[in-house]
Structure 1
Amino acid sequence: MSGCPARYDEELGYWVVDDPALAREVLLDPETFRPDNAVLAHTPLSVKALRVLSGVGFALPPTLANNAGESHRPIRAAVARFFSPARVAAAEVLARELVSARVGSAAAALAVGQQVDLVQAVAAEPPAFVVLDLLGLREVDVPALKAWSLDSLELFWGWPGEDRQLELAYSAAEFYGWLRSRTAAAREAPADDLFGVLVELGLTDEEVCAVGYFLLIAGQETTTQLISTLFHRSLGQRVESAELVEEVLREASSVPTWRRVAARPAVVGEVELPAGAPVLLGLSGHGGSADLAFGIGVHRCLGAGLARMEARVALEAAGDLLGGVRLVERPPMIDLLSFRAPKRLLVTSIRNEE
Structure 2
Amino acid sequence: MDDPVAVREVLLDPGTFRPDNAVLAHTPLSVKALRVLSGAGFALPPTLANNAGESHRPIRAAVARFFSPARVAAVEPLARELTSARVDAARAQLAYGDQVDLVQAIAAEPPALVVLHLLGLTDVDVPALKAWSLDSLELFWGQPDADRQLELAHSAAEFYSWLRARTSAARTAPADDLFGALVGLGLTDEEVCAVGYFLLIAGQETTTQLISTAFQRLIEAPGEPVDVVEEVLRESSSVPTWRRVTACPVTVGGAEVPAGAPVLLGLSGHGGPADLAFGIGVHRCLGAGLARLEARVALECARDLLSGVRLVEEPPMIDLLSFRAPRRLLVRAATR
TM-score range, shorter chain: over 0.9
1:185 partner letter: A
Determine helix, strand or coil for the equivalent of 2:58: helix
> What is the identity, as a one-letter code, of the residue corresponding to 1:215?
L
**1:165 maps to which residue?**
149
Secondary structure of 1:138's aligned partner: coil
Structure 1 equivalent of residue 75 of structure 2: 91
Query: Of 109, 112, 115, which aligns to 1:128?
Result: 112
Q: Which residue of 2 aligns with 1:23?
A: 7
Contact kept in structure 2, 1:238 and 1:323, CA below 8 Å: no
The corresponding residue for 2:253 is: 269
Query: Is 2:241 the partner of 1:257?
Result: yes
Residue 207 (structure 1) aligned to one of 166, 191, 200: 191
Q: Work out the CA distance in 1 between the residues paired with 2:22 and 2:143.
A: 16
SS in 2 for 1:184: helix
Report the equivalent of 1:149.
133
Indicate the SS of the match to 1:235: helix
Residues 248-278 of structure 1, C-alpha deviations (whole Å, 9 max, x = no match): 0000000000000000001103211000000
- Deviation (angstroms), 1:238: 5.9
Indicate the residue corresponding to 1:63 in structure 2.
47
Give per-residue Cα distances to partners, 1:49-71, cap 9 Å, x unaligned.
Answer: 00000001000000000000000
Looking at structure 1, the residues matched to 280 and 303 of structure 2 have their Cα atoms a distance apart, in angstroms, of 31
Scaled by the length of structure 2, what TM-score is found?
0.99
Number of residue pairs aligned between Structure 1 and Structure 2: 335
Residue 85 of structure 2 is matched in structure 1 by: 101
Q: Does 1:79 align with 2:63?
A: yes
Q: Which residue of 2 aligns with 1:289?
A: 273
Residue number in structure 2 paired with 1:34 = 18
Q: Which one-letter code corresponds to 1:203 in the other structure?
A: L
Indicate the residue corresponding to 1:198 in structure 2: 182
Q: Which residue of structure 2 aligns with residue 327 of structure 1?
A: 311
Distance 2:224 2:67 in 1: 28
Q: Given the alignment of the two structures, is residue 181 of structure 1 paired with residue 165 of structure 2, yes or no?
A: yes
**1:6-17 equivalence runs, <5 A:** 17=1
Q: Which amino acid aligns with 2:198?
A: F
Say which of 27, 30, 55 aligns to 1:46: 30
Query: After superposition, what is the alpha-carbon deviation per residue over 1:65-121, rounded to whole angstroms, capped at 9, x for unaligned?
Result: 000000000000000000000000001000000000000000000001000000000
Q: Which amino acid aligns with 1:22?
A: A
Matching residue of 2:321: 337
Residues 238 and 319, structure 1, Cα contact 8 Å, conserved in 2:
no
Report the RMSD for the aligned CA atoms in angstroms. Answer: 0.8
Task: Report the 3-state secondary structure (helix = DSSP H, G, I; strand = E; otherwise coil) of the residue aligned with 1:279.
Answer: strand
Q: Please tell me the residue identity of whatever aligns with 2:200.
A: L
After TM superposition, list the pairs within 5 Å mapping 1:214-233 onto structure 2: 214-233=198-217
Deviations 1:224-262 (A, max 9, x none): 000000000011626555x11111000000000000000
- Gap regions ≥5 residues in structure 1: 1-16
Give the secondary structure class of the aligned counterpart of 1:298: helix
| Counterparts of 1:344 and 1:131, CA distance in 2 | 22
How far apart, CA to CA, are the structure 1 residues paired with 2:122 and 2:37? 26
How does the TM-score come out when normalised to structure 1? 0.94
Identity %: 81
Distance 1:247 1:208 in 2: 35
Q: Measure, in 1, the Cα distance between the counterparts of 2:225 and 2:4.
A: 26
Unaligned runs of 5+ in 2: none
In structure 1, what is the Cα distance between the partners aligned to 2:287 and 2:83? 19
